[in-house]
Amino acid sequence: MTGRSLGVCFAHPDDEAYAVFGSVALHRDDPDLRVVALHATDGGAGQIAPGVEVGAEGLGSVRRAEDDRAWRAVGHSLDRHDWLGYPDGELADVPLGELVDQVASFLDQERPDVVATFGSDGVTGHPDHIAIGAATDAAFHRVRREGGPGLKRLLHGAIPRTWFERHQAYRTAHGFQTWQPELTYHLRPVPDSEIGVHVRIHTVADLVVAGLREHRSQRMVLMPTEVDEATFRQGLRHEWHTIAWPPRSSAAAVLDDIFDAIDDD
């Protein structure tokens, strides 16, 4: 596999970590791989992990630098990185058409084969996640309908219900707070039948952890403190996506790579 390109469109730096870090790490040695990213906000209103110093430049500047270092740690520095500069936590207030125009411009210039973003649940129900996902979906289809290369597959990061339920049982058994999917910032599962791509990333778990570690200011969010790092690394075995485009039949086989059978789309 050579000459493939991936475009990721997310709200905050680090949103892509659990969605595609493993997939990119698996393809890191492909000299023709192109990975481009668009972030709507720099996450300047986020939490700050203990021990992280934020100077006059603010948290957003810190998180931009963390994101660049994270990609390098995963094994593939971004070939292009656009920041839209919207305030963190206010993306849902931006007119959808305005956001769609900017994402469409990015996608039209880059024409990535695969585009990854959030689905309508935002994975955690975060309004910023939902807003950028909706805008990316609309922009993808606008650019795709105009014709031209790329835009062969649109992916939404997802969590299958069976994994979610096992995770809930583990948390209950160990006395940890369980996820409440009706609450914002809590994980939301999808039916297993909706999963269209299941990437097994255990062979590159060390690279994914290295990328996560670079997001030092968000460590308490990305790397839970209730489990030791060895246990956490063992859990980094999967990336899942639903396929928002092209239409997928319920009988279709689940792909094992984000680029799998891309020329068939």
Q: Which of 86-95, 116-125, 217-226 has the lowest mean pLDDT?
A: 217-226
Across 193-213, b (16+ Cβ under 10 Å) vs e yields: ebbbbbbebeebbebbbbbbb
The CATH superfamily assigned to 5-247 is LmbE-like (3.40.50.10320)
Q: Provide the angle, in degrees to the nearest 10, between the axes of the packed helices 17-26 and 205-214.
A: 130
Cβ neighbours of 238 (radius 10 Å): 16
Structure tokens at 169: 């049982």
Q: E strands of 171-256, at which residues?
A: 197-200, 238-245
| Predicted pLDDT at 1 | 44
Q: Which residue has the higher pLDDT, 230 or 168?
A: 168
Give the pLDDT confidence of 106-125 residue by residue, as tens digits: 999 999 999 999 999 999 99
pTM (two decimals): 0.96
Backbone phi, psi, residue 189, to 5°: -90, 165
| Predicted pLDDT at 2 | 54
| Predicted pLDDT at 14 | 96
| Predicted pLDDT at 265 | 64
Residue 135 confidence (pLDDT) above 60: yes
